[in-house]
Amino acid sequence: MVDGNVIEEKKSRWTELYLKEDWWSIWFAAILILVVAVGWITKVPKVGKWTDNPLTAFPADLFLPLALLVVGLGVMTAVGVAFMKLDVKRYLAGYVVVMVLAIVSYFLANQATMKAWGIGYAIWALAIGLVIANTVGTPEWILKGARSEMFIKTGLVLLGAEILFNRILKLGGPGLMVAWIVTPTVIIFMWHFGTRFMKMTNKPLVIIIAAATSVCGVSAAIATSAACRSKKDDLTLAVGMTMIFTVLMMVLMPPFAKLIGLSPAVAGAWLGGTIDSTGAVVAAGAFLGEKAEQVAAVVKMIQNVLIGLVAFAVAVFWVTRVDRDADPDHKPTLMEVWYRFPKFILGFVAASIVFSFVLMPLFGETAVDDILNKTKVFRSWLFCMAFVAIGLESNFKQLASQLVGGKPIIVYIVGQSFNILLTLFVAWLAFGGVLFEAF
């Protein structure tokens, strides 16, 4: 890590294949996919849901699988840490603490009321880390295990496997129109609004907020932050804002759609295209009935596919344009672009292509789903650990300094308002019987 950035910036050599975190994130993800695919892992443990009795979150048969998960992930990542010539003992000591805090985060997020309100593990993980860092302070030995970038990148490569292109084709033109026209338009609008009109100098923060607003909230924020080498504080801020507004939109938008008399299909497309989190999209859609719920979920799913494309585009844009603008006299060569390109994104894209065009035709949908159902849980654990780690490394003062002048909030609100209006218009065109047959 360099200056708290999410991605390192150094020259590439063949030794990077086993010395650099970006490549190790690809190897880690490949190992996890492999052990699941060959059947060595049949179930990945999850903390249970609970309402009044916290003990129900931890049934007796969960302890051994959970312990094996902690040990297994620890051993695997420790091998990479050893190759990267870091202190393995201190990494493992810190890793165990991060993992325990991740379990606590899941435990809190799985309380029934928290689940219903969408207060998920990401926000709990960040909060727990932040509170520890800003009260008793995070000891150095724990920070050695708080390798947020490594966890994020590995999780993102696993995420790539979940983006199955062939499924997009089943979803039809109207959904594609809403998701794929509005999303890039909103990103470009927010980028120009933030950097030119608001004159925000923290460009990574602008693009993370734009991606989180227009694609799918937290996952898009994580992918984009890694692609543009943002500081961790930027990611924390964007995730915090996204989650707060997601809950508000989940509650306020469905009654408003009813009030203005939108048809279920148009309302569903509107909710699916605007609310950041998919869980919240389903919840909001369900408020308006089954058809609205299905259309909302379908539109959101099509939009989610854009995470990889957005991350890839942002990475290319950053190394070819934003970095170049910082040094206008220097035009980067193709090799320099390659050196600075975040390599784990290649793993993300490769995983998506392999699963979509190799494994799916070879083994069929059921077998692929079976693999993904397990790798998804690994991915969630890795993201959860990443958020704990980010919190442990963050400082309230630094976070507050990002909010000076309220510019990030203004960018988010203006961008989200634009997103809401544009999506409503395109949803009406696509699902209201104007361009396609009415639903």
Partner 1 sequence: MAGRPGSAARRWLKLAMAAAVAAAFLVAAQLVSPSLPGAAGMVYEQNCSQDIDASALFYTEVTDVHEFSVTGGGRYAIDVRPGLKLGAGGE
Q: How far is the CB of 363 from partner 1 (least distance, A)?
A: 15
Our CB check for partner 1 shows the closer of 38 and 136 to be 136
Pick between residue 90 and residue 291 the one whose CB is nearest to partner 1. Answer: 291
Judged by CB, which is closer to partner 1: 319, or 392?
Answer: 392
Q: How far apart are CA 49 and CA 108, in angstroms?
A: 9
Residue 89: CB minimum distance to partner 1, A: 20
Question: Which residue in 98, 123, 207, 241 binds partner 1 (CB under 8 A)?
Answer: 123
Which of 280, 311, 359, 385: binder of partner 1 (CB under 8 A)? Answer: 280
Only segment of 195-203, 285-293, 324-332, 421-429 that touches partner 1 (CB under 8 A)? 285-293
Q: By three-state DSSP, how is residue 50 classified?
A: strand
Q: Nearest approach, Cβ of 111 to partner 1 (angstroms)?
A: 6
Is 113 or 333 the residue whose CB approaches partner 1 more closely?
113
Instruction: Pick the binder of partner 1 from 3, 52, 325, 327 (CB under 8 A).
Output: 52
Q: How far is it, in rounded angstroms, from Cα 354 to Cα 358?
A: 5
Contact 86, 26 (CB under 8 A): no
* Contact pattern from residue 287 through residue 316 relative to partner 1, giving x for each residue in contact according to CB under 8 A and a dash for the rest: x---x-xxx-xx-xx--x------------
Percentage helix, strand, coil, to 5, in the chain?
Answer: 75, 0, 20
Q: Which helix (H) or strand (E) holds 244?
A: helix 232-259
Cα–Cα dist 105/96, whole Å: 14
Structure tokens at 271: 């909710």
Query: Closest CB to partner 1 among 238 and 422?
Result: 238
CB of 21 to partner 1, least distance (A): 21
- Residue 404 makes contact with partner 1 by CB under 8 A: no
Provide the 10 A C-beta neighbour count for residue 127.
Answer: 17
42 scored as a contact of partner 1 (CB under 8 A): no
Judged by CB, which is closer to partner 1: 80, or 118? 118
Q: Is 90 in the site for partner 1 (CB under 8 A)?
A: no
Supply the minimum distance, in Å, between the C-beta of residue 78 and partner 1.
Answer: 23
Binding residues for partner 1, total number by CB under 8 A: 86
Is residue 418 within the footprint of partner 1 (CB under 8 A)? Answer: no
- In the complex with partner 1, the residue whose CB is nearer, 25 or 111, is 111
Query: Residue 61 Cβ, how far from partner 1 at the closest point, in Å?
Result: 16
Q: What residues from 131 to 190 belong to the interface with partner 1 (CB under 8 A)? A: 131-140, 143, 159, 162-164, 167, 169-175
Torsion (CA) 348, 284, 238, 6 in degrees, nearest 10: -20
Which residues, 6 or more positions from 146, have their beta carbon under 8 angstroms from its beta carbon? 94, 98, 138, 388, 389, 392, 393
Smallest distance, partner 1 to C-beta of residue 196, A:
29
Residue 312, Cβ neighbours under 10 Å: how many? 18
Q: Give the Cα separation of 60 and 57 in Å (integer).
A: 10
Amino acid sitting at position 115: K
CB of 419 to partner 1, least distance (A): 17
Closer to partner 1 by CB, 291 or 324: give it.
291
- Mark 231-270 with x for binding to partner 1 (rule: CB under 8 A) and - for no binding: -----------xx--xx--xxx-xx---------------
What is residue 231's three-state secondary structure? strand
CB atoms within 10 A of CB 153: 32
Minimum CB separation of residue 372 from partner 1 in Å reads 7
436, two tokens: 């396609």
Is the CB of residue 184 less than 8 Å from the CB of residue 215? no
User: Residue 180: enclosing H or E segment and its boundaries?
Assistant: helix 173-192
Would you state the structure tokens that stand for residue 169, as one six-digit string? 């084709």
Does residue number 359 form part of the binding site for partner 1 (CB under 8 A)? no
Helices 360-393 and 21-37 meet at what angle, rounded to 10? 130
